[in-house]
Structure 1
Amino acid sequence: MGMSLQTSQAQAADPTGPDANALYQQHCASCHGADRLGGTGPALLPENMGRLKPKQAAKVIAEGRAATQMIGYKNQIDAAGIQALVDYIFTPLPEIPRWGEAEILASHIQHHPPGSLPDKPKFQADIDNLFIVVELGDHHATLLDGDSFEPIHRFPTRYALHGGPKYAEGGRYVYFASRDGWISKFDTFNLTYVAEVRAGINSRNLAVSHDGRFVMVANYLPHNLVILDAATLKPVKLIEARDLRGNSSRVSAVYTADPRSSFIVALKDVPEVWEISYQIPPPKGFGQWIHDHRDDSGEQNEANHFPIRRILVEDYLDDFFLTQDYSQIAGTARGGEGQVVDLDLGRVVASIDLPGMPHLSSGISWPWNNTTVLATPNIRANSISLFDIETWQPVKEIETLGPGFFMRSHENSPYAWVDVFFGKHSDAMHVIDKQSLEIVKTLRPAPGKTSAHVEFTKDGRYALVSIWDLDGALVIYDAKTLEEIKRLPMKKPSGKYNVHNKLSRSSGTSH
């Protein structure tokens, strides 16, 4: 696929320099794929690098990477060759690679057919109070008992999980998405994967329909949405992300709007928000519906479902908060001004001032002064922004020690917790009183190490904090007294996800 063009691009600056393509094919292709789309190793494309910078990539090539199969090549490739490889893998492909239904089906792995495993858990625990803890340090996840805070099972995951795992069927099944597009279905009862499939080349996240029938995957590469059968992970339908004029777009995220029986889709490059119904038949406003969609066998053909309702917006909204009743979304626009979209009316109904690039998908809400406030951390400002959801007017800016990324609370807790993920104070965790709207305590669970991503037990009694470090830990706090209860060593734990809070759509956590 376009190798000659890629080679000429990589060598354009210095045609007499090392042959980057030859070096890649010799040392990298066997693991990362001859076309850089991935194999046993991750895809080596700019979109798939995450936060890895070119200087860091050069170090990985030279020295290898801990907790992976990546070895160091400094004794085989000189400094000029390593730099040529870095330039090569950070060069975009000349065209969007194809990854269609045939490629998806070819990648499909069925570890255990549906219905072949016992319906009884192999362990004794409250399923509602289980956590999945994602450990990015060595690409594992831990199933944690939320009552005893003892690990039940630790298991490997695909490389670089992206977007939170999603539960179905009361917590029995959990679905993971990796940056490289691998979707994995894990059976918590039997502590094993049951199916996997590569739904894209670069994926952002996934959502599961509330009835447990469908999984929708949002892709950067290719520009599409992929709908999978939740039972088998086989593809049901692929939807190209294009506006009415045919302009193509990356898909930023997909969310499940349970009360609406629909998926809400954020698009990166076109000013539209999509609502895709999985209700049969869909509600009015989703276009004409033909009731008898059947294939040659006489079975109803699911691929004919999922009509799109396009909502035109005034600017690109690639990150947004959904109100608790799923009637409105508040989205982040690139210019700094936010927009509020009413999903029932199908149009923009308000604008909001968002000076600090809020991380609205991490926003939470709670009752306050006879109204409801939305609170969101800011990626580019040292503050928490609060808005009245009924009027969308600003309520307050709470000054913090630096920009934050994740904010969490619980209906039974008087406090909201927010990290200071970016900057020199990343070891701090602010605790905010939800009524006074003041910081009442700043915790430092591990001085000098980043603390992030709080999640609560199902009753809100305990708060779990990640120490985002290879030599990290999960720190459990009494959510009322703010005293540390327990600490579990872990390999760069990131998100942790409680079954009850996720399935009940708690207002204190992201959806």
Structure 2
Amino acid sequence: MIRPALLLGGLLGLLVPALPALADAPDPNMIYNRHCAICHGVSRLGGTGPALLPDNLSRLKHDEAVSVIRDGRPATQMPAYRELLDEAEVEALAQWIFTPPEHEPTWDDADILASHEVAHPHGSLPDTPVFEVEDLQNLFLVVEIGDHHVSLLDGDTFERISRFPSRYALHGGPKYTPDGRYVFFGSRDGWVTKYDIYNLEVTAEVRAGINMRNIAVSADGRYVMAANYLPHTLVLFDARDLELIATIPVEGLNGDTSRVSAVYAAPPRNSFVAALKDIPEVWEIRWPEDLAEGDEPLVGDFALHRMEAPDYLDDFFFDMEYRYLVGAARGGGGGLVFDMDEERKVADLPLEGMPHLGAGITWELDGRRVMAIPHIDKGQVSVFDMSDWSLVTHIETDGPGFFMRSHENSPYAWVDVFFGPHHDRIHVIDKQTLEIVETLIPEPGKTAAHVEFDRRGETLLLSIWDDDGYLLKLDANTLEELDRMPMRKPSGKYNVWNKTRYEEGTSH
């Protein structure tokens, strides 16, 4: 039995607070308990349906919430309530779910253990895929956020192998085991799901927290770590069946606690690295290299290393060797470079505003390795020399971008214009001249975003980010459209080879 440790405390049993209601106004608390609690939980923490707390609903606008309550959500278990609730009741309920509860909810080890379900124990399913493809390493997973499904695609034929439902609001991107057989998903309301790609089956699930930012899988495929906003914890699981190893309270040396912005795997270091929202530190959690296959890890096997930072850091970028970490300072204070071997800050980057370091990529330019990152608040891609962290140039774009992608075999880097009036555009940048050589507008008025290459860098997939959207397959060199596949608001696409080999053009 793997021993959980560092318990967070007893279960408080939060009840939903009743809001004061006007004499003739609908009572949303009563409406919720009558119609919603059976799926979304008495305390709004979720059940078969997602958690209905303000932080968990950050992607949902008020008008969308009204529509979902009134009309239901296609291809999900969410029914329409237009025959049971009038417009005033729907509106009252929609407002109420965006209201914080009177007491902050809790989620401790007892809750994690109670949520744990194993449908197929590790090793119980066949090792031969139930489908035939030419290259198991060239599969793609596509997250469709329009109706909370995931599509599995053959990267060579562009055919859909399977489409299966996901938890609500997947966040942070799926993470593969090194062999590409298993993939782990993390949802904003805390669920970690293990999926066997070969057998097209969910094998295990566990809920790590109430509001979770992302998950990471160790390079050897043995561990999964979840980063929580609520509660302020990191949670470590055994990747085989998602059994709990440890819950780690995130506390500073002065006793202050912190939300976790993100957690990353650092493959060459046998570690996880955590970005903390409310403590000016960087955490690295390492495990021993000599832990034998089959040994059950103990809490003492893991060591916490703290790096003090002069500011709060929200977003990380790593060099290819994972020695250097670049963090974005809170409030537009620039970028900070840390040497993780020496555990200290070694350089500053002249960055203003909100660079999206998590989308950064690298490539070789004139015999030196450079990094390029888009900005969320300005139309600009910044390029830095990684040998001395000096600025090479700023590439002006048609607006703020969010995703950037390339491939070592491609001469181009792609960056979207996700925010602002030109969100239907995507730029193609020559990696040697550092100039925009093409601007594509695949579907005027509809957002074009998130490129992902196949394993060879020959073709790429691009999302038309719309409820009635689709996936474009393009020739990576000629930019010619090859095919399209209708999808419900396809967002991220993740190629097995690129993600498991940490390809230089794919964010990690």
Answer yes or no: same fold by TM over 0.5.
Answer: yes
Tell me, yes or no, if structure 1 residue 485 matches structure 2 residue 479: no
Decide whether the 8 Å contact of 1:18 with 1:84 is kept in 2: yes
1:332 alignment partner AA = A
Shift of 1:280: 4.6
Of the three residues 80, 92, 114, the one matched with 2:100 is 92
Shift of 1:198: 1.3
Tell me, yes or no, if structure 1 residue 320 matches structure 2 residue 316: yes
Decide whether the 8 Å contact of 1:11 with 1:17 is kept in 2: no
1:29 alignment partner AA = A
Provide the residue aligned with 1:219 in structure 2: 228
Decide whether the 8 Å contact of 1:401 with 1:425 is kept in 2: yes
Decide whether the 8 Å contact of 1:378 with 1:404 is kept in 2: yes
Tell me, yes or no, if structure 1 residue 412 matches structure 2 residue 413: no
Provide the residue aligned with 1:115 in structure 2: 123
Give the superposed CA RMSD.
Answer: 2.0
Provide the residue aligned with 1:357 in structure 2: 354
Tell me, yes or no, if structure 1 residue 304 matches structure 2 residue 300: yes
**What secondary structure does 1:380 align onto?**
coil
Provide the C-alpha distance between the structure 1 equivalents of 2:267 and 2:29, rounded to a whole number of angstroms: 48
Provide the C-alpha distance between the structure 2 equivalents of 1:334 and 1:51, rounded to a whole number of angstroms: 22
Can you give the 5+ residue segments of structure 1 that lack an aligned partner in the other structure? 283-290, 292-298
Provide the residue aligned with 1:331 in structure 2: 327
**What secondary structure does 2:341 align onto?**
coil
Decide whether the 8 Å contact of 2:270 with 2:289 is kept in 1: no
Provide the C-alpha distance between the structure 2 equivalents of 1:406 and 1:211, rounded to a whole number of angstroms: 27
Tell me, yes or no, if structure 1 residue 60 matches structure 2 residue 57: no
Tell me, yes or no, if structure 1 residue 446 matches structure 2 residue 463: no
Provide the residue aligned with 1:430 in structure 2: 427
Provide the residue aligned with 1:199 in structure 2: 208
Provide the residue aligned with 1:296 in structure 2: none
Provide the residue aligned with 1:383 in structure 2: 380
Decide whether the 8 Å contact of 1:67 with 1:137 is kept in 2: no
Of the three residues 47, 50, 56, the one matched with 1:39 is 47
Provide the residue aligned with 1:278 in structure 2: 287
**What secondary structure does 1:11 align onto?**
coil
1:313 alignment partner AA = A
Shift of 1:23: 2.2
Shift of 1:281: 6.6
Provide the residue aligned with 2:34 in structure 1: 26
Provide the C-alpha distance between the structure 2 equivalents of 1:430 and 1:132, rounded to a whole number of angstroms: 24
Shift of 1:496: 0.9
2:248 alignment partner AA = I
Q: TM-score with structure 1 length normalisation? A: 0.92
Q: 1:187 to 1:301 in 2, by over 3 A?
A: closer
Shift of 1:378: 1.0
2:251 alignment partner AA = R
1:266 alignment partner AA = A
**What secondary structure does 1:502 align onto?**
helix
Q: 1:242 to 1:421 in 2, by over 3 A?
A: same
Provide the residue aligned with 1:259 in structure 2: 268
**What secondary structure does 1:506 align onto?**
coil
Q: TM-score with structure 2 length normalisation? A: 0.92
Provide the C-alpha distance between the structure 2 equivalents of 1:354 and 1:54, rounded to a whole number of angstroms: 34
Tell me, yes or no, if structure 1 residue 153 matches structure 2 residue 162: yes
Provide the C-alpha distance between the structure 2 equivalents of 1:440 and 1:447, rounded to a whole number of angstroms: 19
Decide whether the 8 Å contact of 2:285 with 2:303 is kept in 1: yes
Shift of 1:455: 0.5
**What secondary structure does 1:242 align onto?**
coil
Provide the C-alpha distance between the structure 1 equivalents of 2:138 and 2:220, rounded to a whole number of angstroms: 20
Q: Number of aligned residue pairs: give it.
A: 492
2:69 alignment partner AA = I
Shift of 1:162: 0.8
Provide the C-alpha distance between the structure 2 equivalents of 1:143 and 1:389, rounded to a whole number of angstroms: 36
1:205 alignment partner AA = N
Provide the residue aligned with 1:176 in structure 2: 185
Of the three residues 102, 105, 109, the one matched with 2:110 is 102
Structure 1 residues 365-418: Cα deviation after superposition (integer angstroms, max 9, x where no partner): 111133222111111111112122222222222111111110000000000001
Decide whether the 8 Å contact of 1:2 with 1:94 is kept in 2: no
Of structures 1 and 2, the one with the larger relative CO (CA 8 A, separation 6+) is 2
Q: 1:15 to 1:359 in 2, by over 3 A?
A: farther
Provide the C-alpha distance between the structure 1 equivalents of 2:48 and 2:315, rounded to a whole number of angstroms: 31
Provide the C-alpha distance between the structure 2 equivalents of 1:173 and 1:270, rounded to a whole number of angstroms: 34
Q: 1:320 to 1:300 in 2, by over 3 A?
A: closer
Can you give the 5+ residue segments of structure 2 that lack an aligned partner in the other structure? 1-12
Provide the C-alpha distance between the structure 1 equivalents of 2:440 and 2:495, rounded to a whole number of angstroms: 22
2:269 alignment partner AA = R
Shift of 1:95: 3.9
1:358 alignment partner AA = P
Deviates more, 1:71-80 or 1:113-122: 71-80
1:502 alignment partner AA = K
Percent identical among aligned pairs is 57
**What secondary structure does 1:416 align onto?**
strand
Shift of 1:83: 4.0
Q: 1:413 to 1:62 in 2, by over 3 A?
A: same
2:402 alignment partner AA = F
